[in-house]
Amino acid sequence: MSSWSIAAWLMLGGSTVLLFIGMPVALTFIAINIVGAWLYMGGEPGLVQLARSSVSSVTAFSLTPIPLFVLMGEILFHTGLALKVIEGVERLIDRIPGRLAVVAVVAGTVFSAISGSTIATTAMLGSLMLPVMLSRGYHPTIAVGPIMAIGAVDMLIPPSALTVLLGSLSGISISKLLIGGVVPGVILSIAFVAWIILRVSISPQLAPADKGEVQYRGWARWSLFFAYVLPTLSIFGVVVGALAAGWATPTECAALGAFSTMLLALCYRALTWGAVVKALKGTAGISGMILFIILGATTFAQILSFSGASNGLVQFITGQGLSTNMIVVGMMLMLVFLGIFVDQVSMMMITLPIFMPVVQALGIDPVWFGVMFLICMQLGLLLPPHGLLLMTMRGVAPPSVTMAHIFMAVIPYVVMSLILLAAVFWLPGIATWLPRLIG
């Protein structure tokens, strides 16, 4: 066995085993990094270099958008503006099969455009809308499915902390990756709404119409949309518009978005000191976890490269005589498989050190590849048995909603996400058209 293959088995195999036995992600990679640095970087000098690399990895300016994007969502949830947005969307949508499930998808899409936290979107919609749907006779599968599915779309529609993390770890342009996810995310949202309407039209007993539902007409129907929904969506316009026009970097756009969110909450007199403290605590907790994981991931990739494992794996893969498309399909299948067992950050750390050198060697469009990577991570959030959003839903759902209901509810949305992945593979323009259009 060659020296590079031994290094690959030790680093990649060791980290995978530790993750599967339940060791925290950050500690897994730090432990493997210490062993790798000692063996392949000269013992004690290697450990010193490991410490230096760890510090520089989390002080990179490109990571600054992460806490700012997370803060946008936290402010929205803790000031109560999210409730007003849901009510505004609900007044607009009436006389549609599965109305409340459709409201959940539309409201979730709005939150995706102003929140960088996938889990927060699912938890909030689950705690607010699920009890209402169940009380009105909705079947648990039609009630919980849209909430989990639209929470996963949060990863595709900017701002997204995980998209920034993927761009930072892979070297793909963060701004192009953020904009590249817009079209696939909107397509998924539309597909989810179409599925709900079709499903409930076929089986109306799944979501009975509410006879006592208040029908708003005239200005009463549109008032909350103009008062809350439109101003909230304007934040998305500010962030993506500045990014697309090239007026601001991703970091500056994130700062602009966070400032706009706080200013909006201040205008509504919802920005209390208590809400700010809660939002900052939530942001610090999520951002600290992400940065601690980045610390382990970056040095892991460096040691893989230093040991010769990265170069050896690239030569092995490209030397098999497979077409570029076959190699990309293999990568996507590996990501979907990993999504069943490990979380999204682990997926990035296990695969990016191998995948990105191959992508560069084969001349694959990095934005196209990055958007497909995002869709695979979005799938991982929904795949039974350990999908993160499935566990989040279990945490906020009442006892009457079983894990069997949750697993069954998510299947149609997983299928639609797989169809989208195939569509982006065969029609790369779905992912690359918008970034290319804005230059």
**CA distances for 355 relative to 7, 283, 364, angstroms:** 17, 30, 11
Token pair belonging to 33: 């990094």
CA distance 386 to 371: 23
List the domain boundaries for the chain: 3-438
Q: Judge whether 114 and 220 are in contact, CB under 8 Å.
A: no
Q: What is the pLDDT of residues 45-73, one digit of tens each?
A: 878 877 777 777 677 676 778 788 788 87
Tokens of 40: 């392949």
Cα–Cα distance, 277 to 279 (Å, whole number): 5
Checking if the pLDDT of 214 tops 70, the result is no
Task: Give the single-character DSSP code of 386.
Answer: T
289 in Cβ contact with 58 (< 8 Å): no
pLDDT of residue 401 exceeding 80:
yes
State yes or no: pLDDT of 82 exceeds 80: no
| Gyration radius of the chain's alpha carbons | 22
> 5-9, 83-87, 96-100, 165-169: lowest mean pLDDT where?
5-9
pLDDT of residue 17: 78
Mean pLDDT (whole number) for 223-240: 84
Report CA 257 to chain centroid distance, whole Å: 18
Closest CA to 390 of 151, 188, 49, 148: 148
Comparing 198-207, 222-231, 365-374, the range with the smallest average pLDDT is 222-231
What average pLDDT score do residues 378-395 get?
78
Whether this prediction's pTM lies above 0.85 is answered by no
pLDDT for 291-350, tens place per residue?
776 777 667 767 777 777 666 766 777 677 788 899 899 889 888 877 776 667 777 877
Token pair belonging to 378: 């979005």
- The pLDDT assigned to 31 comes to 82
**Residues 208, 136 contacting (CB under 8 angstroms):** yes
